[in-house]
Structure 1
Amino acid sequence: MDYRALKQEIIEYSREIGIDKIGFASAAPFTELKDRLLRQQALDYQSGFEEKDINKRVEPSRIFDEPRSIIAIALAYPSKMRESVKGKQGARRGIFCRASWGEDYHTVLRDRLSKLEAFIAAKAPEAHFRSMVDTGELSDRAVAERAGIGWSGKNTSIITPEFGSYVYLGEMITNLPLEPDKPIENRCGTCTKCLDACPTGALVQGGQLNAKRCIAFLTQTKDFMPAEFRDKLGNRLYGCDTCQTVCPENKGIDFHLHEEMEPDPEAVKPLLEPLVSMSNKEFKQTFGSMSGSWRGKKPIQRNAIIALAHFKEESALPSLMDVLFHDVRPVLRGTAAWAIAKIGGEKAREALILAKEKESDSAVKEEIEKGISLLN
């Protein structure tokens, strides 16, 4: 088998099926990554969504029999909407991060990887594969960096020369000995714009993220959002784009190469007030095909309540009071109490005092009491 020729055929086929960038890496252990992950673990900077076994994350041989190489792919996604919608007083809107626009990227990339597997298998019947997107054991970014897809920026994103950091990543471990590509030069230099702009200081230093302070992580949690972060959320419903939008490498970058990645403006910038009372069925119909829906509606609704407080939207007070008095979920009742207090006014005070008398959950009561103190 001429593996050099096969590699070239794979590259050419990848373009035919809509893979925007492809690279090849060795399947050797990611020893430097292991050291970083151990430091992150010791500092309690991990989100908890990652694979728990660090050895599986850095040693391909732990998850694949006799790996010889890894194929990394990247697909570029849009950074701007072709048609947008704007919120206004009385009709405020939230925002999903760009990486959640369009069809769930896990589905899109798995489609490309599946086609690539079938192509390679037809050329090399002895080939075996293990493909993964985001939720696999390996670090997508570490593989992409080694494969020359891009460099690992100070914002911890892979930055490509062609598409900036607006790319989805996936990879395929294989037993085929495909020649590796060379990593590319890091171009971040002395720039610290992403570190300076991070709303919560989650970027501890270049290339190091405290995930527990990152808004992208916080928007996906299901419990009460810690009070110190609520005013930082703005109108974000899922994810955060700040460290990407300020990056000079992303200036002017906006690719519309895949129709399934095009956003529905009403879905990615939804009206906040209807979202607060949305049923499970309505939520699945509206957001079910987006990656940002994976944690269900509770975190999104909690974030919508915080966003209404951000806008100090007085017209939303009746809806927030309805949550405070009738929602069965303590996290939403307590968050509504906080939001009502932030919006303020005599009606807000009366509602919180009444709610304090009726509420039985201790955590919600604490939020109500904090809210009343804000109004005093």
Structure 2
Amino acid sequence: MDINQLKEEVILFSKEIGINKIGFTTANAFGEMKNRLLQQEALGYQSGFEEKDIEKRVHPELIFSEKPRSIISIALAYPSKMKNAPQSKKGERRGIFCRASWGTDYHFILREKLKLLEEFIISRFPEAVMKSMVDTGELVDRAVAQRAGIGWSGKNCAIITPEFGSYVYLGEMVTNIPFTPDTPMEDKCGSCNKCIDVCPTGALVQGGQLNAQRCIAFLTQTKGFLPDEFRGKIGNRLYGCDTCQTVCPENKGKDYHLHPEMEPDPEIAKPLLKPFLTISNRDFKEKYGHISGSWRGKKPLQRNAILALAHYKDETAIPDLIRVLENDPRPVLRGTAAWALGKIGGSDAKAALLRAFDKEKDSEVIEEMEKGMKLLQQV
């Protein structure tokens, strides 16, 4: 079969199944990316969620059963604005999940699209061998997408497309079919540094370089105590961070609602904080299990909800935080609640902390209680 004809048919089919952008590149090694990954590793900038073997991340032949000839990159646009978003108000404060966690988990959506694409290619080219991946695969999604002409790699470390800005999910497929590669896109960030300038924690070290250990999107997914220096910067974020996207001029006016399954349920994407503290495992799975922000479980999100209540200095949450301090079996939540009580202040918070000193045995929680008492003295 004529490979160029097959490419055109694949592009046409991709549009029929709702893929918003598709690009093709070679399966050559990502040499420049290897140097960057080695530097990130040496600096300790990795998140720890990545594939550990850098060779597999830059050499497609190491993860493919046959000789890889091409990589297909796909992008799906997601919404940037929430319809009917509930307001966060006194006594009813709300947290927020980042846009990439609105609607159904994008991993499932993109995998289904790639599966349909695989089935179509097999029907047209039975000798085809393919391996698809979304986010958790060995290859670097952004490196593939950039080389395949989906968009350019922005200073905010996101792929920026002319059509949809950086509000796109990425996936790729390695194949033995020698498709003609597309042309990479010219970088259009220019002298703009808005994303670097407004990053709350300085995680964007420079254009295109991220220290994941300082990135709020990463920090919201960690399971232990949040380091002190970041507690005042997390705001009301429960999962992820969109700051470096929302300030990007290329995202101005970009808001696409092309996939119903990506539409956010406002009460899930922007939930009330106080009820979140005591949600059961069953209710959490039923209500939040379908979103990507649930993958680490409820504990990190509940910790973040406590920090959000402290951010708001929500005095109406003091009874809820006292219950966490006195009854929750998890040290991280008890300790974070102790710190939050100190941050919010008041006689009830102080009395609760003093009572807790008589029964608390965990050394880390006691340390957080001491921090809380110091904060009380500053109020």
User: Which residues in structure 2 correspond to 1:281-292 (within 5 Å)?
Assistant: 281-292=282-293
User: For residues 187 and 358 of structure 2, what CA distance do their matches in structure 1 show?
Assistant: 59
Q: Which amino acid aligns with 2:97?
A: F
Q: Which amino acid aligns with 2:21?
A: K
Is the contact made by 1:153 and 1:188 (CA closer than 8 Å) also made in structure 2?
yes
Aligned to 2:193: 192
Q: Does 1:45 align with 2:45?
A: yes
SS class of match (2:286): helix
Is the contact made by 1:25 and 1:179 (CA closer than 8 Å) also made in structure 2?
yes
Task: Tell me by how many angstroms 1:348 deviates.
Answer: 1.1
Encode CA deviations 1:267-306: one digit per residue, 9 max, x unaligned: 0000000000100011111110000000000000000000
Number of corresponding residues: 376
Aligned to 2:166: 165
Aligned to 1:373: 374
Q: Which amino acid aligns with 1:239?
A: G
Aligned to 1:15: 15
User: Which residues in structure 2 correspond to 1:325-364 (within 5 Å)?
Assistant: 325-364=326-365
Encode CA deviations 1:340-359: one digit per residue, 9 max, x unaligned: 00000111111111111210
- Is 56-65 or 345-354 further displaced after alignment? 345-354
Aligned to 1:82: 83
Which TM-score applies when normalising by structure 1? 1.00
User: For residues 98 and 274 of structure 1, what CA distance do their matches in structure 2 show?
Assistant: 22
SS class of match (2:74): strand
Q: Which amino acid aligns with 1:12?
A: L
Q: Does 1:108 align with 2:93?
A: no
Q: Give ranges in structure 2 of 5+ residues lacking alignment.
A: none
Q: Does 1:302 align with 2:303?
A: yes
Misfit runs of 4+, over 2 Å: none
Q: Which amino acid aligns with 1:39?
A: Q
Aligned to 2:36: 36
Aligned to 2:60: 60
Task: Tell me by how many angstroms 1:39 deviates.
Answer: 0.2
Is the contact made by 1:58 and 1:138 (CA closer than 8 Å) also made in structure 2?
yes
User: For residues 208 and 58 of structure 1, what CA distance do their matches in structure 2 show?
Assistant: 18
Q: Which amino acid aligns with 2:374?
A: S
User: For residues 140 and 122 of structure 1, what CA distance do their matches in structure 2 show?
Assistant: 26
Is the contact made by 1:356 and 1:369 (CA closer than 8 Å) also made in structure 2?
no
Encode CA deviations 1:194-234: one digit per residue, 9 max, x unaligned: 00010000000000000000000000000000010000000
User: Which residues in structure 2 correspond to 1:175-324 (within 5 Å)?
Assistant: 175-324=176-325
User: For residues 280 and 303 of structure 2, what CA distance do their matches in structure 1 show?
Assistant: 14
Q: Which amino acid aligns with 1:117?
A: E
Q: Which amino acid aligns with 2:100?
A: A
SS class of match (2:358): helix
User: For residues 191 and 197 of structure 2, what CA distance do their matches in structure 1 show?
Assistant: 12
SS class of match (2:67): coil
Q: Which amino acid aligns with 1:38?
A: L
Task: Tell me by how many angstroms 1:81 deviates.
Answer: 1.1
Q: Which amino acid aligns with 1:310?
A: H
Q: Which amino acid aligns with 1:77?
A: Y
User: For residues 287 and 322 of structure 2, what CA distance do their matches in structure 1 show?
Assistant: 24
Q: Does 1:143 align with 2:139?
A: no
SS class of match (2:225): coil
Task: Tell me by how many angstroms 1:82 deviates.
Answer: 2.0
Is the contact made by 1:195 and 1:206 (CA closer than 8 Å) also made in structure 2?
yes
Is the contact made by 1:133 and 1:170 (CA closer than 8 Å) also made in structure 2?
yes
Q: Give ranges in structure 1 of 5+ residues lacking alignment.
A: none
SS class of match (1:358): coil
Q: Which amino acid aligns with 1:350?
A: A
Encode CA deviations 1:312-355: one digit per residue, 9 max, x unaligned: 00010001000001100000000000100000011111111111
Q: Which amino acid aligns with 1:16?
A: E
User: For residues 82 and 150 of structure 1, what CA distance do their matches in structure 2 show?
Assistant: 27
User: For residues 84 and 230 of structure 1, what CA distance do their matches in structure 2 show?
Assistant: 25
SS class of match (1:267): helix
SS class of match (1:171): strand
SS class of match (2:369): helix
Encode CA deviations 1:139-163: one digit per residue, 9 max, x unaligned: 0000000000000000000000000
User: For residues 358 and 230 of structure 2, what CA distance do their matches in structure 1 show?
Assistant: 28
Aligned-residue RMSD, C-alpha = 0.5
